[in-house]
Amino acid sequence: MKKSILFVLIVLCFNSIIAQNWMEFTASESTTPDYNILQSNDTIVKFSVFIPGMFETSIDTFNRVNIKEHTRLDSVGFPEITIVSFLVAIPQ
C-alpha cells in the first residue's frame, strides 16, 4: 500500500516538472492534425493537411516540440522533428 502511494506521488511530481504547453497555430477544438481530400480521381489526389498546433516542453535552454500520436525523427545528431503522416490511396 505504501509503495503504491509513493509511486503515485512520484508520477504526479514528474508530470508537474515536465509540463507540456500547447502552442496554438490556429484556433481549433482539436489538438490532433487532420487532412481533407480536396480532389480525387483516376489521375490525381489533392489534399490539405491541417495542423492546429503542437505541444512544447521546456528543457534547460531549448524547447522540445511534439504532436501526440505522431512520430519524430530521433537519429543521433539530428534535431527531433515531429513527422505528421497520413496514408492516402494513390489512383492506379
Does residue 13 or residue 66 have the better pLDDT? 66
pLDDT digits (tens, 9 = 90+) for 8-62: 556 555 554 457 888 888 888 888 898 898 998 888 888 999 989 888 988 888 8
The continuous run of DSSP H or E covering 11 comes out as helix 2-17
- Cα(54)–Cα(1) distance, rounded to whole angstroms? 38
Can you give the pLDDT at residue 38? 92
pLDDT digits (tens, 9 = 90+) for 75-92: 888 888 888 888 877 777
Can you give the pLDDT at residue 16? 45
Domain extent listing, the chain: 20-92
